[in-house]
Structure 1
């Protein structure tokens, strides 16, 4: 049987075009998700991309700051990755200002991101009318995680609802021979602990005046000084091995029942899941002190470095679409410990902690932007230095107030 030369040529061209297209759909992704729960979550993105016919090149860098530095160095050096992880913050805004990122407006418009995402998130990732980052989750950094067995051993009958009840619970845990507060003594973890107390003890209004406005009156107020004193009081409830401990190692202490409480973002839930523990059974969670506590909004985004390569742009847009699709959102966030970025997903199979977060997110009055959404990275770093110095040294509250006010000015 003979085939017409034109048909053979056409078939060959189509085959070559298909091969070129498949080869073009390749994505190198820089991120810092290296713990067990984080890695399992990241695989959901990788699997979705592979299912779409793409080749996923995983570039995991231990530590958020080293990962961001690696991504920026690659961008500036002219050899960018396809995508890179940042937090929902102002961390990537300098890259936008320098024209070093591709926008995802085509995907955003097609899929209606303006209607899907919460306003505080849009305000962070949509700059001058353009979507320069793709949000993939909503984390709340101020969750309280506790061991059910530790609470039982200490005779704690209910979750603390006030700061006084929190310290009463910590005292009972200490008396029972347990580590009351599992804390990784690293600056960013100490800052999360402080911000959680600022939101819960100081309140939403004080939080915004301190961070967004750098209001000297608020920083010098009796309320802010009370927050600082309360924060330092927690120092008496951590163990001697706290200094330098990784966050997931602190979570492991709660998982093992050696420690009672950890104040940490809901990414910690991924570690409980990886240890085959179930929310409400082996461990408990509460998103703050009291039924109307502020819900601090944080999370992760991926940015897409500037490129004119058609294959790379297609891979970037494919990633943006897949990462925010309903099915991938549920699968990813179930393993990450966070809640979906979009409001139209079926969350019926998510755990009780996630259900609580989703319910709270329906009440905008409880939304509170995290500090990194309100200040520049330089100011945030300076404030973090003030807080970690206070935690680890013998300083008066008045001296810390002066240092904080100076750092907040930028």
Structure 2
């Protein structure tokens, strides 16, 4: 996404003049962004903080789609050795930390920036608890996209970007028949990636109604849900034997390099294409998993700011939070990340075709809560475990359905 950044507002820096220009405020920031595109994005925040007189201490924790990092964060907060700031997703992941009184609120920044009016209700639901804000939103991701290598599709005789699951499967059949050395579907065989793929199929088969029926109402009795299980199983026939344990960015790399035709993955994958110098519409294609009217599921990232008795920490946290939400911070970070800014008052006129879909959805407030927001962490984890078991075994559709019915009601 290419947008034109403004100059940093002088008042943003002046507001922290009391700290003293000569004193570099150290800020240890824990996150799980370790791929090429992710590292380039977080570096924009780091550079901006350093230019404001701070000292960014980067602490990336790889693995598990953030699970390993979240464990480190929670353990350190509970042990009295909290970082200055820590990454989470829009979800209930940090709700227990709020309840335990481990996080500082951001009410001063929220009031200054008028978050009550500026942020979509579905975002506020995730970051505002008991009347106070506890996390700064930095972007909006959509986890449910399909990415393609246009040169590979052309060689296979696919003349246009597929727009739904049926068209993708037809195109993969052509790739399988005409390009035996190319993997039709690149997949990282990790639990969270398998869960995203399952959700992609669910959206393709039932859209918003099925999404809410499953994750909100906990009702898995529809024929559309059974078809989701059947179609999900069919997709395994397009995946290569090297899938188990593969990281998501390595699967993206297969598409970038022409070793695979498609990948189902969130729009953070676009950051990898950008980092590799690829151009949307020329080198790679993108589409929402059920076409342009696919519900825009809320995904994305926030930073929380744990309480600490160390001197200067609260001042550093205030500076970090203001920088991350600033127009410059939002633009610079999201240009590299593949996501879109959570703010709608920045220059969004020059975005690529993929990002334009997200911008339109955000402005129209056409957002839908993620499964992380609709289910408890226990239920969400149990559901993901059931999905992985079904994908990685010969379990029948009937048995998988029974297991998932138990999982969603935990």
TM-score by shorter chain over 0.5: yes
Structure 1 position 80, deviation (Å):
0.7
The aligned residue for residue 31 of structure 2 is 31
- Superposed, 1:156-167 pairs within 5 Å as 156-167=158-169
Contact 2:21 2:53 in 1 (8 A): no
Contact 1:41 1:332 in 2 (8 A): yes
> CA separation in 2, counterparts of 1:58 and 1:266?
23
Contact 1:102 1:307 in 2 (8 A): no
The aligned residue for residue 256 of structure 1 is 257
The reply on whether 1:198 has 2:199 as its aligned counterpart is no
Could you say what secondary structure the match of 1:301 adopts? strand
Contact 2:86 2:304 in 1 (8 A): yes
> CA separation in 1, counterparts of 2:144 and 2:39?
22
Could you say what secondary structure the match of 2:261 adopts? strand
The aligned residue for residue 7 of structure 2 is none
Q: When the two structures are superposed, what TM-score results if normalisation uses the length of structure 1? A: 0.92
> CA separation in 2, counterparts of 1:181 and 1:245?
13
Give 1:213's match in structure 2, choosing from 203, 214, 217: 217
- Superposed, 1:67-86 pairs within 5 Å as 67-86=69-88
The aligned residue for residue 7 of structure 1 is none
> CA separation in 2, counterparts of 1:22 and 1:61?
30
Structure 1 position 167, deviation (Å):
1.4
Could you say what secondary structure the match of 1:319 adopts? helix
> CA separation in 1, counterparts of 2:402 and 2:221?
8
Per-residue deviation, residues 64-91 of structure 1 (Å, max 9, x unmatched): 1111111111111111110001111110
- Superposed, 1:11-90 pairs within 5 Å as 22-23=22-23, 25-63=25-63, 64-90=66-92
| Structure 1 residues not aligned, in runs of 5+ | 1-16
Structure 1 position 203, deviation (Å):
1.6
Contact 2:379 2:407 in 1 (8 A): yes
Structure 1 position 108, deviation (Å):
0.6
The aligned residue for residue 281 of structure 2 is 280
| Structure 2 residues not aligned, in runs of 5+ | 1-16
- Superposed, 1:5-404 pairs within 5 Å as 22-23=22-23, 25-63=25-63, 64-176=66-178, 177=180, 178-215=182-219, 219-309=220-310, 311-364=312-365, 366-404=366-404
> CA separation in 2, counterparts of 1:283 and 1:192?
21
> CA separation in 1, counterparts of 2:263 and 2:135?
30
Could you say what secondary structure the match of 1:23 adopts? coil
Contact 1:138 1:300 in 2 (8 A): yes
> CA separation in 2, counterparts of 1:106 and 1:308?
20
Contact 1:87 1:300 in 2 (8 A): yes
> CA separation in 2, counterparts of 1:384 and 1:152?
35
Contact 1:288 1:294 in 2 (8 A): no
160 and 225 in structure 1: CA distance in 2 versus 1, 3 angstrom threshold: same
> CA separation in 2, counterparts of 1:213 and 1:130?
28
> CA separation in 2, counterparts of 1:390 and 1:397?
8
> CA separation in 2, counterparts of 1:108 and 1:309?
24
The aligned residue for residue 13 of structure 2 is none
> CA separation in 2, counterparts of 1:299 and 1:22?
35
> CA separation in 1, counterparts of 2:386 and 2:133?
33
Q: Which moved more, 1:309-318 or 1:196-205?
A: 309-318
Structure 1 position 313, deviation (Å):
0.9
Q: When the two structures are superposed, what TM-score results if normalisation uses the length of structure 2? A: 0.92
